Chains A and B, each alone.
Chain A
Amino acid sequence: MPESLVDLSRLQFAATAMYHFLFVPLTLGMTWLLVVMESVYVMTNKVVYKDMTRFWGKLFGINFALGVTTGLTLEFQFGTNWAYYSHYVGDIFGTPLALEGLMAFFLESTFIGLFFFGWDRLSKTQHLLVTLLMAIGSNLSALWILIANGWMQNPVGAQFNPLTMRMELTDFWAVLFNPDAQAKFVHTVSAGYVTGAVFVLAISAWYLLKGRDVEFAKRSFRIAAAFGLASALSVIVLGDESGYTVGEAQQTKMAALEAMWDPEPAPAGLKIIAVIDEARQKNDWEIEIPWVLGLIGTRSVNKEIPSIKEIKQRNRPRIVSGIEAVKALQALRADPANAAAKAAFERHKADLGFGLLLRRFADPVDQATPAQIEQAVNASIPRVTPMFWAFRTMVGFAFALLALFALAFWSTLKVGSEPSPWLLKWALWMLPVPWITCEVGWFVSEYGRQPWTIYGVLPTSLSVSTLSTTSVVASLAGFVAFYTLLLVVELYLMIKFARLGPGTLGTGRYANEPAAMAAASHA
């Protein structure tokens, strides 16, 4: 496959997925915040909580529309742009995607309609149940998609079939309870909850700064602060770290994002900053906190974390063995009854993926020169610099968010006192931070998986559809233009309704009502 086609296909996937993930985390978090608000309404019967559910629900709806729009692409893009990938692993990867649709999207999307339109037709408890099912649906969809994604990082429960030329499922439970998937699920939904909480916290802070709809805003602020604090702790504590001990993909990521070129005695230190020289495979300069990385990465004081050079060293024989696997497979394709080829393939099939990786540098692989094999070895880990800085951005922002929620929560505990204006301003300015953090987090996860789409099994360079580069340039431009236009419209509406505030509900209980009526009135 031409490299430009591969790069463009990756860029298109990255762009469409990252646009999609501007909307997903808010949905994940807001649905639970709506459940909390509405539960308080059902329990206390105070109408302000109903208004909160409806107003925050309105903003949630504006966001949700684009979540649905951008989500459509992702269900079909594997087929349109990653045809070989879809054929090669569809037997395993397709199942969680199908279950996501059947089990999660149906639930979420059917009940979201009743959430918005069912207020007068359902009893209070029925409506709360609808909101709850909507939240469960959206979170279940995250579960299934992360089971699919977890399998890309740690492909368990499957094996290659030379007859059909693809990976096939052998153990569904292994795919389902893949530790990588479970860790990612908790981490990702918690990040979504943080996003929802910051959204409510920041906009409520703005109303409080303006002295508007104070009762409404104070209650919203309090709920968001408590929910956000719990979620931020969950993101950081329960988060992705546990996943790093699992599988080679995560070890490779860890070594790359730590810029750990050479073995370090256990327990390894955590680098705060470093000046990285990728060509010479060393850091010119670094500041390190001793012990921390070893403790986090291995949960022990004596286990060593593999370094980049060690991982490359480990990959070299696998590439050499992979050449044999590719050769045997070709013989088997020509003659499925060839017993010698069958035996050779059985011996080397665990390294087939590494043989395919070499194809990018040498085709046919059995004529690869030592230099070409070396190229493949060097390409078997992701680039270090982007990983290093992306990870630090994510972690830095995560701690900033934790601090914000801790202070916000503390401010709501003190009876009779108000959150101070500087805290409110800080909350407002933090509004974009969870989105940046989520996107950077996905970058660490997926860029760190390179050069594979399925770690150790299928290289990215082989996964794409055989399209013309012109087609992909045109579609990429189309996606970016279309999404950007829709994003601008969405932000315009979001800001407009957030500014107008709960007055847009037309209940007669809030500030701004005449203005809100004029600007947002419908008929």
Chain B
Amino acid sequence: MLDYATLKIIWWLLIGVLLIGFAIMDGHDMGVGALLPFVGRTDLERRVVINTVGPHWDGNQVWFVSSGGVMFAAWPLVYATAFSGFYWAMLAVLWALFLRPVGFDFRSKMNDARWRAAWDWGLFVSGAVPPLIFGVAFGNLFQGVPFGFDSQMISTYTGSFWQLLNPFALVCGVVSSAMITMHGAVYLAHRTEGDIQRRAIAAARMFGVLTLIAFSLAGVWLAFGIDGYTLTSAIDRAAQLDPTTKSVTRAAGAWLSNYRAVPATMALPALAYVGTATALWLLTAGRTGFAFAASALVLAGVISTAGASMFPFVMPSSSTPNHSLTIWDSVSSHLTLGLMFWAVLILVPLTVLYTGWAYKVMGGKVTAAYVRENDHSAY
């Protein structure tokens, strides 16, 4: 079996991979949901939009569910502390997501304009709210979250829900919302034609630019306005650790120290810029499939920038910095990490393979004619 210290780093990377997978796969149908009322003007247009993700949204949503499950298995203390601390934020995500399965499946089963309009806005909420909240959550992780443990390791969160909605966190929320909406727009441009495609391309441009503006603003703010966290005690990475026994200090500009230490990591934020520019250029050139790949790189760039800035921290504590959760001391046992490593290594590529096949089977443009012909089976 791999040694414990290596597995801890691998697991940090794997959680990153799962989050990026979630953003790429579930993100594009959330983006489509967020754009639905705007790129689709008539009922038929909206059905076209919905059916671009109709056969896939459910499989894609499993990226979210599995990320949660895998975090439970590999980072149980993070799973426990983050989700109970961000209680109302998490419930807002869940309740927004409730509208998705029923929105997709129930909307077109009744021939009533008000019924359908209601579900359209339901799909909008379920596509727009979760990415916003995920961004806000990340914004709060950067600033540290007020929590600590007692001697039994019972965690207590001392903040409130409204405290999460601070200006920096909201900027992070805009980054997340904008990039996910751009990603959905690029996907729509690939799967539709005519008016819908034209509107989707316009939306992709708008949200692509917004992504970069907000991302730059968040970066500058992070460098000059947000205190980072630094480990100040020696840590035995190969050992099982009690997460409350290290020492951590807060320092201005500390979130940039990894970039100073390993300059190659600056490629990660650069990827976000290059990816956005490439995606928008490819859209203009009509290469929508490649544009989708470029847009996926943007998501990978933004999410890995966040991860690399905070490494090795996952969830810093603002009230008790020494209790901050890091990738060294908030992980499962050696045996569980090893076991789950092999599980992910085998199952995720297999999933990507059959998901790819499903997209291939259902590939091609979704048109108004397709929806009319499949009136009784299409969404």
Contacts and interface: CB of A to CB of B under 8 A. Distances in A.
B2 interface: no
B72 A78 contact: yes
Contacts of A73: 94
A486 interface: yes
Interface of A: 54, 61-62, 64-66, 68-69, 71-73, 75-76, 78-81, 83-87, 90-95, 97-103, 105-107, 109-114, 116-122, 161, 163-166, 168-170, 172, 330, 333-334, 336, 465-467, 471, 475, 478, 482, 486, 489-490, 493, 497, 504-506, 518-523
B59 A113 contact: yes
Contacts of A519: 111
A90 B79 contact: yes
Q: Which of A69, A118, A506 has the most CB of B within 10 A?
A: A69
Contacts of A478: 91, 95
Contact of B351 (A106, A333, A505): A106
B108 interface: yes
11 contacts: A68-B61, A69-B98, A81-B84, A84-B155, A95-B73, A98-B340, A105-B66, A106-B59, A117-B54, A117-B362, A122-B361
B352 to A, nearest CB: 10
A85 B69 CA distance: 15
Contact of A95 (B154, B156, B340): B340
Contacts of A116: 54-55, 377
B93 to A, nearest CB: 8
Given A87-B80, A98-B340, A466-B154, A69 B347 contact: no
Interface in B95-121: 95, 97-98, 100-102, 104-106, 108-111
Contact of A172 (B62, B97, B339, B344): B339
B83 interface: yes
Given A105-B66, A482-B95, 5 more contacts: A62-B105, A83-B155, A94-B73, A116-B377, A520-B110
B2 to A, nearest CB: 16
Contact of B77 (A87, A92, A466, A493): A87
Nearest to B332: A91
Contacts of B79: 78-79, 86, 90, 94
By DSSP majority rule, is chain A's interface helix, strand, loop, or mixed?
Answer: helix
B238 interface: no
A54 B374 CA distance: 13
A114 B240 CA distance: 45
Nearest to B116: A522
A120 B68 CA distance: 35
Interface residues of B, number: 80
Interface in B62-80: 62, 64-66, 68-74, 76-77, 79-80
Contacts of A471: 87-88
Q: Which of A86, A97, A523 has the most CB of B within 10 A?
A: A523
B74 A69 contact: no
Contacts of A523: 43-44, 47, 371-372, 375
A458 to B, nearest CB: 12
Contacts of B105: 61-62, 64-65
B367 to A, nearest CB: 13
Given A80-B84, A95-B340, A109-B61, A86 B76 contact: yes
B354 interface: yes
B126 to A, nearest CB: 10
A115 to B, nearest CB: 9
B11 to A, nearest CB: 12
Nearest to A133: B354
A161 B97 CA distance: 37
Contact of B55 (A113, A168, A522): A113
B358 A106 contact: no
A118 B55 contact: yes
Given A105-B62, A113-B362, A83 B111 contact: no
A466 B336 contact: no
A92 to B, nearest CB: 7
Contact of A83 (B43, B83, B102, B374): B83
Given A97-B73, A169-B333, A79 B59 contact: no
